[in-house]
Amino acid sequence: MKTKLLSKLVVAAVMATGALTKAQDQPCSNASLQGTYGFHAFGSIVSPGNPATPLAVIGVYTLDGSGNWTANLTVDDNGTIIKPAPQSGTYVVNADCTGTLCPTLEEAMR
């Protein structure tokens, strides 16, 4: 559940940040999304029968413009600091500026 939430937050932030400036000028492509992007996210983990616990994530995504990504993250899970191994995969940016990361961050962290 935690990595699923994290994955959705990260994908939305990276795809929105990189593609927005290009969306009005021309159709988007993998080349439209390249560079290094920092991000952070905050939330709460809610489990049935337990009080909500805070979750914070900070990280850096690097996208190469050819469809390859890497990510370095630091997670604060209710005071426990977790530094997952660097993640990597591929991405696709569609002409309408939507896109996907493959694998998703959730899948990569398993």
Supply the DSSP string of 49-63, one letter for each residue.
TS--EEEEEEEEEEE
**Count of domains observed in the chain:** 1
The boundaries of the domain holding residue 14 are 2-108
**Cβ neighbourhood burial of 6 (10 Å; 0-12, 13-18, 19+):** buried
d(C-alpha 26, C-alpha 110), whole Å: 37
CB 86 within 8 A of CB 72: yes
pLDDT of residue 99: 93
60-93 pLDDT, tens digit each: 999 999 999 999 999 999 999 999 999 999 999 9
> Does pTM top 0.75 for this prediction?
no
Residue 48 confidence (pLDDT) above 60? yes
d(C-alpha 104, C-alpha 10), whole Å: 9
13-23 pLDDT, tens digit each: 555 555 455 44
